[in-house]
Amino acid sequence: MSQPTIAAKEPKVIELEPGTYYWCACGRSKNQPFCNGSHEGTDFEPVAFDIAEKQSVALCQCKHTKNPPFCDGTHDSL
């Protein structure tokens, strides 16, 4: 499997409404941290995740988190 593109070396902290979201795993999306289909033709697939209630989350943009789609601080070691 190829390596993802690092979109940023910091998380995207955002308040999300309840619903299903698709996190970009490849790093190519122009709509970071969400998927826009730019992974087509790669080994990557977006990661679907559900938000049950309105909340603030820190979504990974370095694409190396061990807890996708959430930031785990891995960007500090890149």
User: Can you give the residue ranges of every domain in the chain?
Assistant: 12-77
- How large is the average pLDDT for residues 4-23? 98
- Residue-wise pLDDT for 26-64, tens only, equals 999 999 999 999 999 999 999 999 999 999 999 999 999
Residue 18 has pLDDT above 80, yes or no: yes
Q: pLDDT band at residue 17, thresholds of 50, 70 and 90?
A: very high
Are 5 and 29 spatial neighbours (Cβ–Cβ below 8 Å)?
A: no
Exposed e or buried b per residue across 24-35, where buried means at least 16 C-beta atoms within 10 angstroms of its C-beta? bbbbbbeebbbb
- Residue-wise pLDDT for 55-66, tens only, equals 999 999 999 999
Q: What is the spatial distance between Cα 22 and Cα 16, in angstroms, rounded to a whole number? A: 12
pTM value? 0.94
Q: Assign 27 to helix, strand or coil.
A: coil
Are 58 and 12 spatial neighbours (Cβ–Cβ below 8 Å)?
A: yes
